Amino acid sequence: MVRKIGVLTSGGDAPGMNAAIRSVTRIALNNGIEVVGIHDGYRGLLEESFEPMTRQSVSEILNRGGTKLGSARLPEFREDEVQDQCIKNLNRAGIDALVVIGGDGSYRGALALTRKGINCIGLPGTIDNDIAGTDFTIGFDTALRTCVENVDKLRDTSSSHHRCSIVEVMGNHCGDLALYTAVSCGAEMVITPETGYDELEVLERLRYLGSAVKKNHAIVIISEKICDVEELAKKVSLNTNFSGRATVLGHIQRGGSPTPTDRMLASRMGEKAVDLLMEGIGGHCVGIIDNHITSVPISEALERPRASRKQLYRLFDRLV
């Protein structure tokens, strides 16, 4: 029987993590289970930076971005001895089980601890939507809203100046944020790890849009780490009818009050995490598939390829 649950947030922060912390805390407390907040991800576990969580600890955080518990990366957590020390710390604090909110790296840590005897459940907290075993991650919808709001503003100014705006969004080797932004904003082009990148093709397409189609502006959405967008913008100015401008949205994508969709998702997933732990299940991660909250073993989720986005890329092509 689980008596005390620890909760931590790990990896990059994402809006909605607070809603997940709140859900885990309130649902556990309402089931007579004590809750301990662990600061700064696995670092807090190693350094025993714990705080007892009450109903009030999670008051007024539902609408706040970031994470109340702090997040960090601890590369040493891959080492056996570090994990063993953390298990000792958990045992000393009487923590029987853990909810880890983070990305796939954090999931690997949760799996390691489960194998060493502490049941852990992973919740997908990342704006990148890059985790298998779920259609959506906590934070993706809020980051998408931020991207769409900003690209809409860029469109206003681009169309007044015959500009091509090249907008770099986050994604960490996953094109979802770029693809969803491109469809939502009616962009002219989308470039992601899934589409691949060919500079000559991009310039050719923009030349065509500027001369044959006579568009007076163009928006190109591109995932991070694909090319130097400032350089691409210069080449657009030199080789097409458009004046190229690059915008890197950067860390604003991580911030902001979570959307109702993210608050709902985090609340539902937090509930599932506590239910699984009460059933004595560990080593699973929670997902949402076709609007149903589900769970699969972390090992399976990490191996499984993500669902294909082919239909959405096709939709984008048909809307241009």
Q: Is 102 in the site for ligand ATP (CB under 6 A)?
A: yes
Check if the beta carbon of residue 114 is closer than 8 Å to that of residue 9: no
Residue 39 CB, nearest approach to ligand ATP (Å): 14
Burial class (CB in 10 A: 0-12, 13-18, 19+), 312: middle
Radius of gyration of the chain (CA): 22
Out of 13, 128, 130, 262, the active site residue is 128
Element (H, E) at 124: strand 119-124
Residue 159 CB, nearest approach to ligand ATP (Å): 35
Q: Is 11 in the site for ligand ATP (CB under 6 A)?
A: yes
The strand pair at 50-53 and 34-38 is best described as antiparallel
Candidate ranges 1-9, 28-36, 70-78, 196-204; the one touching ligand ATP (CB under 6 A)? 70-78
Q: Is 305 in the site for ligand ATP (CB under 6 A)?
A: no
Q: How many CA atoms lie within 13 A of 180 on its CB side?
A: 21
Q: Is 128 annotated as catalytic? A: yes
Candidates 4, 34, 48, 108: give the one binding ligand ATP (CB under 6 A).
Answer: 108
Q: How far is the C-alpha of 25 from the C-alpha of 58, rounded, in Å?
A: 8
**Sign, CA torsion 126/127/130/135:** positive
Angle between helices 310-319 and 176-185 (to 10 degrees): 30
Candidates 37, 44, 65, 109: give the one binding ligand ATP (CB under 6 A).
Answer: 109
Phi, psi of 5 (to 5 degrees): -110, 135
Q: Is 168 in the site for ligand ATP (CB under 6 A)?
A: no
Binders of ligand ATP in range 280-299 (CB under 6 A): none
Q: x/- contact string, 204-243, with ligand ATP (CB under 6 A)? A: ----------------------------------------
Q: Is 251 in the site for ligand ATP (CB under 6 A)?
A: no
Q: Is 74 in the site for ligand ATP (CB under 6 A)?
A: yes
Give me the active site residues, please.
Answer: 128
